[in-house]
Amino acid sequence: MVIKHASGLEEVKKMDTQSLRDHFLVEDLMQDGKVKMVYTHYDRLIIGGAVSVGNTLKLESDDALKADYFLERRELGIILISGEGSVEVDGENHSMNETDFLYVGRGVKSVAFRSKDKQPARFYFASAPAHAEYPTRKMEISEADSQSLGSGQKANDRTIHKFIHPDGIKSCQLVMGFTELKEGSIWNTMPPHLHDRRMEAYFYFNLPETERIWHFMGESNETRHLVVANHQAIISPPWSIHSGAGTSNYSFVWAMAGENQSFTDMDPVPLDSVK
């Protein structure tokens, strides 16, 4: 498990391109036949990828957690971003199709990922510390709270699918779902916003391999950018904006951790203040 430490506002202002990428970009989460995890000290969120290619992948604890098993003091949200597969939770099997979602609560001792066949099943997951136990729950996209936002005229016509939120799957602090942009739309989370009460991670997918996304971060009056490819993730500090524009439409999983679970808890940033 890779560990990324938190960086302060003044420190980030002095970073060059490579330093920004080292601190906030995760480039290699999806590796065939492996589980890969990154631990950030922003609200102690863990993001990860598990790519089963006909093999069983177990979610193991890491020395950094000082826990007997991964979910001893944590909760977990999983989304299957491509392929067909299943997740076994303490011996109970949950079949999953593309964009199906599974929440696994604190105290579960065994989590294993499998593909349906030798075609890769790519699972993305996020995990946060948990103070209570909530039951395992699967949700298909047809059950999600889905909302259409934006417009074609502003190139941000998109649908937001919410899975973990106060009116959906219950959790301790995770809030999680994904957004898909319609063909011809490229902008996400624009105009931008902040929520100092929680951090956020974006995982970009369904982006053609030859295309790229310009992800914008930093203080609203001191912005920075990162060029992102398919299946790469961004760690966004609570003080940072988080928006992007691609050379094609795409989708992204968003996962938040912190002290407020309200999805609408956002501080808007007027465009005329962005620099």
pLDDT by residue (tens digit) across 144-157? 999 999 999 999 99
Task: Give the model's pLDDT for residue 262.
Answer: 84
Instruction: Give the integer Cα–Cα distance in Å for 216 and 202.
Output: 12
What is the rounded radius of gyration, in angstroms, for the C-alpha atoms of the chain?
A: 18
Topology of domain 2-131+139-273, CATH? Jelly Rolls (2.60.120)
pLDDT > 90? residue 264: no
Residue 263: which pLDDT band, with cuts at 50, 70 and 90? confident
- Closest C-alpha to 78, from 117, 108, 42: 108
Taking a C-beta distance cutoff of 8 angstroms, is the pair 263, 198 a contact?
no
For the chain, give the mean pLDDT. Answer: 96
- The type of residue at 206 is N
How does 142-151 read in b/e, with b if 16+ C-beta sit within 10 Å? eebeeeeebe
Instruction: Give the integer Cα–Cα distance in Å for 180 and 238.
Output: 23
Tell me what the mean pLDDT of segment 49-70 comes to.
Answer: 97
Task: Give the model's pLDDT for residue 189.
Answer: 94
Residue 229: which pLDDT band, with cuts at 50, 70 and 90? very high
Task: Give the model's pLDDT for residue 100.
Answer: 98
pLDDT digits (tens, 9 = 90+) for 95-111: 999 999 999 999 999 99
pLDDT > 90? residue 66: yes
C-alpha angle 197-131-66 in degrees, rounded to nearest 5:
100
Biggest CA–CA distance in the chain, Å, is: 54
Alpha helices of the chain — where are they, by DSSP H? 9-13, 17-24
Phi and psi (nearest 5°) for 50?
A: -130, 120
Instruction: Give the integer Cα–Cα distance in Å for 121 and 140.
Output: 16
Instruction: Give the integer Cα–Cα distance in Å for 180 and 155.
Output: 13
Task: Give the model's pLDDT for residue 260.
Answer: 84
Task: Give the model's pLDDT for residue 39.
Answer: 98
